[in-house]
Amino acid sequence: MPEVILTMKGIDKSFPGVHALDHVDFEVRKGEVHALMGENGAGKSTLMKVLTGIYTKDSGTITYEGREVTFANPREAQQAGIVIVHQELNMMGHLTVAQNIFIGREPKKGIRIDDNAMNVEATKLFKQLGIEIDPKTTMSELTVAKQQMCEIAKAISHDAKVIIFDEPTAALTDTEIEQLFVIIRDLRAKGYGIVYISHRMDEIKKITDRVSVMRDGQYIGTLITEDCTKEDIINMMVGRVIYEDPKTQSQCPPDAPVVLKVEHLNAGKMVQDVSFELKKGEILGFAGLVGAGRTETCRALFGADPKQGGDIYIEGKKVEIHSPKDAVEHGLSYLSEDRKRYGIVLKKSITENSTLATLKEYTKGLFIDRPKEEKVTQRYVDELRTKTPGIDQLVMNLSGGNQQKVVIAKWLVNDAKIMIFDEPTRGIDVGAKQEIYELMGRLVKEGKSIIMISSEMTEILRMSDRILVMCEGKKTGELDIAEATQENIMNLATRDIDMREGDK
């Protein structure tokens, strides 16, 4: 049995109106990858913030390397060897790779920073990780995957013994994920204790040794990964069975009217002559590899990016959409894949966010009609089952799944008829996913129409009535759900790439 390096026992933490951690236990051994799982709001992030000194625990003990510790801040935790590789990278784009890794602790020659020594040390770290990155490269020039490798190098440079990976694969391609797994396995072999937070079940089975599950701020239990099934983990997470069967036939009537028609849409290299139709009450899935042009197509449709050509018809009538304001006036909504950047205002309340797109309807002269605003907000908090102490709660204090519900509420308040869901469940746990899926099902039954962009094949096959596939800015095919399989979707998603490789 490997040595236990970290033990958290009976950790309790409360905030006003929320008991976030209720006597939680957790341990990490040397040379293991230990998954920490649970729905959004289960308390995973809070537990890690208590560990690394961002929050102060109300009670309980943390034992690290055989002695009881309490870290006053993340710097103290880093100095002791406990480091987080965050989902949202904390790098400075204008600095070099080496400068980012050693920021605040740069080697010096006299009073000057010794850039050469810094570059040499960074190169050693990369060699240790088995990756090739030039330490003199400006950080903004790197891909997200390579930026993440730099975060890992930074963690190791702190002489880390425990590394916490928080949703590390959220923005990575399949190839980049495999590269990350090679590094994590190497770190495990070298004796690092690794905490792995993720919602992706397939990853958990591939990369972890044990799985600890939290639910509603409580510790539910720990499983040995190779001895448990995906269903075992899900049942512990949500306390109920979640069904993930693919859709076998379209639930949209064949004679449903066309509500949106796009002809020969062009917008730069990533949107080339794209045409499609969307029917009333239909979920049209947009499938393809990362960089296929799916998001760019929908942003051009919504007026968020300028289009260079093409026609858009809504309910048979040609419309001009030059801005998101135009799109909203024509009954379109867009739930961005980056909800924190484009979907919500984090430092505003649920109420303020819910009426953001329709504020004119809630104003009387110069004043906002607060009772009217609060009434509609409460309606959608109840309808979407948003977990919050109240409608005045700041959105930044909500979990990812509940933030997504606030974005959806904003467009439901606006009564949008055509809804674009761009990666609707990215960074959301399996229970919240189920709620989003059920909501989408209700919306189409009520006569709304949905375009859903997703990089998860299981999600595309589970939710779509019809699937449009893109590759490198072009539409390469369309499939009814009855004939769709992972294989024929992937064939279409790589068609242009394969043809080009064949020409070489």
Q: Are 60 and 12 spatial neighbours (Cβ–Cβ below 8 Å)?
A: yes
pLDDT of residue 87: 62
With 0-12 CB in 10 A as exposed, 13-18 as middle and 19+ as buried, what is 449?
Answer: buried
Enumerate residue ranges in the chain where pLDDT < 50.
497-501, 503-504
Q: Are 440 and 421 spatial neighbours (Cβ–Cβ below 8 Å)?
A: yes
Which residues are within 8 A (CB) of 295 and not within 5 positions of it... i.e. 6 or more apart?
Answer: 337, 422, 453
pLDDT of residue 504: 45
Report the length, in residues, of the chain: 504
Beta strands across the sheet bearing 309-314? 274-279, 258-266, 309-314, 317-319
The amino acid sitting at 491 is N
Buried b (16+ CB within 10 A) or exposed e, 166-200: bbbbbbbbeebbebbbebbeebbeeebbbbbbbbe
The amino acid sitting at 393 is Q
β-pair type (4-15, 59-64)? antiparallel
Q: CA–CA separation, 192 vs 104, rounded Å?
A: 24
Question: Which option is the CATH number for 244-331+417-429+447-504: 3.20.20.80, 3.40.50.300, 2.60.40.10, 3.30.470.20?
Answer: 3.40.50.300
The pTM of the full predicted model, rounded to 2 decimals, is 0.61
Q: How many CB atoms lie within 10 A of CB 471?
A: 22
pLDDT of residue 226: 93
Helix 144-157 and helix 174-189, axial crossing angle in degrees, nearest 10:
10
Which residues are within 8 A (CB) of 272 and not within 5 positions of it... i.e. 6 or more apart?
Answer: 266, 293, 473, 474
Q: CA–CA separation, 447 vs 339, rounded Å?
A: 25
Which residues are within 8 A (CB) of 14 and not within 5 positions of it... i.e. 6 or more apart?
Answer: 20, 21, 58
pLDDT of residue 498: 46
Helical H runs in 81-229?
97-101, 115-129, 144-157, 174-189, 201-207
Q: Are 211 and 222 spatial neighbours (Cβ–Cβ below 8 Å)?
A: yes
Domain 4-238 classification at class level? alpha beta
Element (H, E) at 414: none
Q: Are 470 and 297 spatial neighbours (Cβ–Cβ below 8 Å)?
A: yes
Element (H, E) at 383: helix 370-383
Closest C-alpha among 162, 6, 30, 153 to residue 83? 162
pLDDT of residue 209: 96
Q: How many CB atoms lie within 10 A of CB 15?
A: 12
Token pair, residue 417, equals 């008829």
Q: CA–CA separation, 29 vs 111, rounded Å?
A: 41
Q: What is the DSSP letter of 132?
A: -
Q: Where in the chain is the domain with CATH 3.40.50.300?
A: 4-238, 244-331+417-429+447-504
Which residues are within 8 A (CB) of 494 and not within 5 positions of it... i.e. 6 or more apart?
Answer: 289, 471
Q: Are 304 and 341 spatial neighbours (Cβ–Cβ below 8 Å)?
A: no
